[in-house]
Amino acid sequence: MFINRGVAVTAMDSMVEAAIWFWIPLILVPIGIWLAVSGKAKNLGKILSVTGFILVLISSWTVPSSDSTAAGHLLLSIMAPSLLLAYGIHGMIFGGNVPVGKLDNTARWSGALAVIISIVIFCLMHWYSFTPLWRNGEVNPYWIVFWPTFLLFSTSLCSVASFALITFGDDRFSESIKLASLSVVMTGVALAAIVFDGYLTTAEEFRDYLWLAAADIIGTVVGIMMAIGAFAIVIWTYEKSLPPPKNSLPPSDEEIKHVVELAASHIGGEEE
Amino acid sequence: MSKPNASWKILGLAAILPILVLVAIDVSLGDDIHPESFKRFGNAVLTSYVLMGIVLMGNLFFYADSRHRPLAPFVGMMSAVGVGILISWSLVSFDDLLLEANSGMRAQMLSNIVHLLVSGTAMLLASILALGMTFATITGRKRRVLFEEEE
């Protein structure tokens, strides 16, 4: 029987390709983290999550036909400044006065420099030619989602942190001013993006997405709070349905004697 | 002594005020509310609710280890997530209520997950920046001497 190889080898459907190269690896990341954190299979969990994450990052090459892979491409594009930001924050925290794991004093300055450079790189991704490009030289559609969300949320969180230090902290005014300044700087960057066109995106587009970013942030926070609320109700309802625990019997004389002996054997030393 | 409730209200205001200021400036430049804002809000609420519910369902396994593996909380959480999925499905498939620039319900739901991945990454990165800088400013202060004996 003659078998035409060209017919036998069927091309994979684009949806199946997207499932294999993007969605399944994406699902593997939280499963791997769960396995690693739960301690049920630490090494397997780490391997799964790292492999899944790498496959998501390179998905724009493995399955270029899928629109979803633009997210993987964006994550890869922002990887370098994000790692620089994390390195900088680590250096700034542990280069200061910490009781354990203290780094060299210069780590604080190099960390601050790394944080500034990372934010400058993000700005250059908007106002210079570093903008992540996806298919056919077009701007990655998720860049205009990421950038306003990052600016709005960091402005908001820095403001919260600043007020929290004053409200709950003791003599933390100078630290609060520094955080308020950072919030103002991030607001300034957002204002600049509102007014001035980016390298490949317009100020009008940014203003449009600013609304969507605000809706996204508020919606996500509300959704997460609702899920936590549902979780609390489920646990509370179950715990309420349990019978009250029975009181245990008081210790016998023999048990008390044993405890006293144990305590006595651990108390001692010479008086000064 | 400050009232705890008042403090939380101030923190809430501090969180929302910068966003409101930026959006107000946006409006003052002549832009109207983006027509898709409500759809984005609705999709973000439902997607984050369902995905966070699934994450918390995974968390129930830790809880079960300390409670002789009861089935009731798991079923309860499954129902809560199921209701979320059902509401998402009905609202996305209902006319044009939550359908954005996508071809159909399945495309919209997958797009929501990818969208949350990107906006979640942006929020995570912003949290690292804000919380990291908070700790950096705290550890940046010179060590205070609380008692003379410390000298």
- Give per-residue pLDDT as tens, B43-66: 999 999 999 999 998 888 777 777
- According to DSSP, residue B141 is labeled S
Rounded Cα distance, B114 and A59, in Å? 13
- Convert the pLDDT of each residue in B86-145 to its tens digit: 999 888 887 777 777 777 778 888 899 999 999 999 999 999 999 999 999 999 887 766
Q: How far are the Cα atoms of A84, A86, A121, A122, A184 from residue A79, in angstroms, in the given order?
A: 9, 11, 11, 11, 25
**pLDDT value of position B146:** 63
pLDDT band with cut points at 50, 70 and 90 for residue A8: very low
Q: What is the mean pLDDT of residues A133-141?
A: 87
Contact by Cβ (8 Å): B117, A71: yes
Mean per-residue pLDDT of chain B: 84
Interface pTM (ipTM) of the complex? 0.87
Alpha-carbon gap, residue B93 to B98, rounded angstroms: 8
Output the CA torsion A182→A183→A185→A187 (10° steps): 170
**A164 contacts: CB under 8 Å, gap ≥ 6:** B11, B14, B134
C-alpha A92/C-alpha A114 separation (Å) is 9
**Is B150's pLDDT higher than 70?**
no
pLDDT digits (tens, 9 = 90+) for A159-206: 999 999 988 888 888 899 999 999 999 999 999 999 999 999 999 889
Please give the average per-residue pLDDT across A134-143, as a whole number: 88
Tokens representing A170 are 């003791």
Q: pLDDT higher for B102 or A143?
A: A143
pLDDT of residue A125: 94
User: The pTM is what?
Assistant: 0.85
Span A102-125, pLDDT tens digits:
888 889 999 999 999 999 999 999
Q: How many interchain CB pairs under 8 A, A with B? A: 264
For the cut 60, the answer to whether the pLDDT of residue B68 exceeds it is yes
Rounded to a whole number of angstroms, the distance from the CA of A175 to the nearest CA of chain B is 6
pLDDT of residue A145: 93
- Statement: residue A272 has pLDDT above 60: no
What six digits make up the tokens of A83? 């790692």
Residues in B 55-114 with any Cβ partner in A closer than 8 A? 55-56, 58-59, 61-63, 70, 72-73, 76-77, 80, 84, 110-111, 114
pLDDT tops 80 at residue A48: yes
- What confidence score (pLDDT) does residue A219 get? 95
Nearest by CB: B49 against A68, A159, A223:
A223
pLDDT band with cut points at 50, 70 and 90 for residue A11:
very low
Evaluate if residue A29 carries a pLDDT over 90: yes
Q: Is the pLDDT of residue A6 over 50?
A: no
The full set of domain ranges for chain A reads 13-73, 78-130, 139-241
| B2, B56, B143 ranked by CB distance to A227: nearest | B56
Region of A39 (left: φ > 0; alpha: ψ -120 to 50; beta: rest) is left
Q: Which residues contact B105 (CB under 8 A, 6 or more apart)?
A: B89, B92, B93, B99
Per-residue pLDDT band at A7 (split at 50, 70, 90)? very low
Type of residue numbered A17: E
Does A2 have pLDDT greater than 50? no
What angle do the packed helices B72-93 and B37-65 form, to 10 degrees?
170
What pLDDT is stored for residue A187 in this prediction? Answer: 93
Query: Closest-CA residue in chain A for B109?
Result: A68
- The pLDDT of residue B148 is 61
- B window 3-32, beta carbon within 8 A of A: 7, 10-11, 14-19, 21-23, 25-26, 29, 31
Q: What's the mean pLDDT when you consider all of chain A?
A: 88
